[in-house]
């Protein structure tokens, strides 16, 4: 087992990739905080983990709200004593809205969940990590965080910001035993993934997504394996970088 007795907080863990990551981490021996907006679904994930002999608790946390992030980290510490792994996975799409159609409201909402949430959660765990001189952060970014053509303007900008933040944190804390990496998934079969591949009426940005050759859509469990690598000592020399997992979608 690769994560024996590690305490992992996974945001957006009631569905999709977050659920798959929580389940795999628990199967590898971690105690997992399953954080999500949706308590009932998060609790179902916990019940599934417990049914396989794993340890997990569900926490309601909207990563766009600072007090919820504080509560999420406090709960992990109260329940399991510390945090060893933070997975900033919760995210929302922007419906492929191009820049000219953007509202401030959509921009702010996409940034609040996809970018400010990971920043605040990182800010909360860093003192814990610094004190024990160890800790791992895994940010679920996107192919949209590396390329300008996979989503709308807000999501693209928000995920690019996550990638930049990941590199900065990885570098800044490299000598403190802390690692911070990101995953850039391609199209993955989840609730969000459906909206990414759906036909659209917005022209350029949505149409371009469809035009580009996507070898295949991935499964959430394929991303979870990358997240396991990045959380475990198998990636001890990997820091401040982005691992693309997309079957070659962005390889050209």
Active site residues: 155
Examine residue 15 and tell whether it contacts ligand NAD (CB under 6 A). yes
Distance between CA atoms of residues 115 and 60, nearest Å: 19
Instruction: Please give the biggest Cα pair distance in the chain.
Output: 51
Cβ-proximal residues to 7 (8 Å cutoff; 6+ apart), any chain:
30, 31, 33, 76, 80, 81, 82, 83, 84, 85
SS3 (DSSP) at 128? helix
Examine residue 152 and tell whether it contacts ligand NAD (CB under 6 A). no
In the bound state with ligand NAD, the residue whose beta carbon lies nearer, of 177 and 210, is 210
Distance between CA atoms of residues 189 and 247, nearest Å: 13
> Among 36-44, 121-129, 208-216, 231-239, which window interacts with ligand NAD (CB under 6 A)?
36-44
In the bound state with ligand NAD, the residue whose beta carbon lies nearer, of 142 and 156, is 142
Distance between CA atoms of residues 10 and 16, nearest Å: 12
The number of C-alpha atoms within 13 Å of 16 and in the hemisphere containing its C-beta is: 21
Examine residue 24 and tell whether it contacts ligand NAD (CB under 6 A). no
Q: How far is the CB of 60 from ligand NAD (least distance, A)?
A: 9
Pairing type for strands 7-11 and 85-88 reads: parallel
Name residues contacting ligand NAD, limited to 92-121 (CB under 6 A).
92, 113
- Among 3, 11, 156, 161, contact with ligand NAD (rule: CB under 6 A): 11
In the bound state with ligand NAD, the residue whose beta carbon lies nearer, of 19 and 31, is 19
In the bound state with ligand NAD, the residue whose beta carbon lies nearer, of 7 and 110, is 110
Beta bridge mates, 59: 35
Name residues contacting ligand NAD, limited to 209-228 (CB under 6 A).
none
Q: How far is the CB of 109 from ligand NAD (least distance, A)?
A: 9
Distance between CA atoms of residues 95 and 154, nearest Å: 9
Q: Which residues bind ligand NAD (CB under 6 A)?
A: 11-12, 14-18, 36-38, 61-64, 89-92, 113, 140, 142, 185, 187-188, 190-193, 196
């Amino acid at each position: 087992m690769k994560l024996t007795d590690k305490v992992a907080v996974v945001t957006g863990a009631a569905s999709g990739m977050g659920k798959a990551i929580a389940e795999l981490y628990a199967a590898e021996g971690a105690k997992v905080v399953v954080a999500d907006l949706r308590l009932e679904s998060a609790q179902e994930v916990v019940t599934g983990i417990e049914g396989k002999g794993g340890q997990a608790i569900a926490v309601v946390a909207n990563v766009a709200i600072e007090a919820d992030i504080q509560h999420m980290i406090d709960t992990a510490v109260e329940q399991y004593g510390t945090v060893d792994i933070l997975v900033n996975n919760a995210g929302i799409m922007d419906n492929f809205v191009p820049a000219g159609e953007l509202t401030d409201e959509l921009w702010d909402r996409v940034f609040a969940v996809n970018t400010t949430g990971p920043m605040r959660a990182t800010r909360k765990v860093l003192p814990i990590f610094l004190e024990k001189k160890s800790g791992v952060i895994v940010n679920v970014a996107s192919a949209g965080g590396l390329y300008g053509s996979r989503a709308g303007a807000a999501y693209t900008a928000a995920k690019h910001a996550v990638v930049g933040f990941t590199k900065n944190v990885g570098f800044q804390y490299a000598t403190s035993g802390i690692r911070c990496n990101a995953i850039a998934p391609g199209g993955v079969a989840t609730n969000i993934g459906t909206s990414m591949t759906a036909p659209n009426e917005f022209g350029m940005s949505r149409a371009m997504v469809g035009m580009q050759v996507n070898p295949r859509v991935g499964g959430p469990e394929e991303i979870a394996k990358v997240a396991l690598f990045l959380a475990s000592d198998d990636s001890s020399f990997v820091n401040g970088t982005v691992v693309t997992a997309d079957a070659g979608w962005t390889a050209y």
